[in-house]
Amino acid sequence: MARTVDENPSLELGLDFSNTVDWRNGEKRADSLATFSSLVDWSIKKGIIPSDEAPSILRRAREEHAEESALRKALQLRETIYRIFSAVAHDEHPSVEDVGILNRFLSDYPVSSSIIRTGEEYGWATVPGKGAEGRMLWPIAKSAADLLTSDQLGRVRECANEEEGCGWVFLDETRSGTKKWCSSTGCGNRAKVRAWYERHERAHSHASRVS
């Protein structure tokens, strides 16, 4: 049976993919995509592929000795998505090179569309044309392209925790459009704790000065 891909992935899928590395720009950098199978696991978690398809994707990549090159491509896509949306978040234009790389990903995994019957209904089926990784990377690239061309682009932010080099990018869905941190419990909380300590220390040194 033809395996289909979601032609309209969420606008955040590409950003989520970018966020598979923690502390991207900091000393604690931690990459959760260390192997091809971690890419497959992440894709299952995100609903890009069904879990029962994982064995065949892994087998195909192994047989074609494509695990390393597929992971390399995934990381190239991820870093490109980060650079594009980090630029956007800082009110800059992404570089021509990065948009070119994204375009290459979109065209490297050509999709074919056809009509399939599922039960009593008919629907569009989109099947990416090549490579074990195409099933996973095409929807991610498509999501990034959709976001880049959407009216939500002005809501892309990069976490304000530059001190520790968070580097997470996200869509600000608050009504006020003033979301600064990737999460209020993560970086936002750390920033609050830090501010509290700074205030506390200032108050403390002030107190010791006057005494």
Q: Please report, as ranges, the residues that interact with Zn ion according to CB under 5 A.
A: 159, 161, 166, 168, 182, 187
Q: How far apart are CA 12 and CA 185, in angstroms?
A: 20
Closest listed residue to residue 183, CA positions, set 169, 194, 165: 169
CB nearer to Zn ion: give 64 or 162: 162
Q: What's the closest the beta carbon of residue 44 comes to Zn ion, in angstroms?
A: 25
Q: What's the closest the beta carbon of residue 161 comes to Zn ion, in angstroms?
A: 4
CB nearer to Zn ion: give 64 or 163: 163
Q: What's the closest the beta carbon of residue 2 comes to Zn ion, in angstroms?
A: 40
CB nearer to Zn ion: give 144 or 166: 166
Closest listed residue to residue 191, CA positions, set 181, 179, 176: 181
Closest listed residue to residue 98, CA positions, set 87, 78, 82, 84: 84
Which DSSP helix (H) or strand (E) runs through 101? helix 96-108
CB nearer to Zn ion: give 80 or 161: 161
CB nearer to Zn ion: give 138 or 168: 168
Q: What's the closest the beta carbon of residue 181 comes to Zn ion, in angstroms?
A: 6
Q: What's the closest the beta carbon of residue 50 comes to Zn ion, in angstroms?
A: 31
Q: How far apart are CA 193 and CA 202, in angstroms?
A: 14
Closest listed residue to residue 4, CA positions, set 141, 123, 146: 123
Q: What's the closest the beta carbon of residue 74 comes to Zn ion, in angstroms?
A: 22
Give the HSE-up count for residue 157: Cα atoms under 13 Å, Cβ half-sphere: 16
CB nearer to Zn ion: give 141 or 191: 191
Q: How far apart are CA 143 and CA 32, in angstroms?
A: 20
Q: How far apart are CA 102 and CA 118, in angstroms?
A: 32
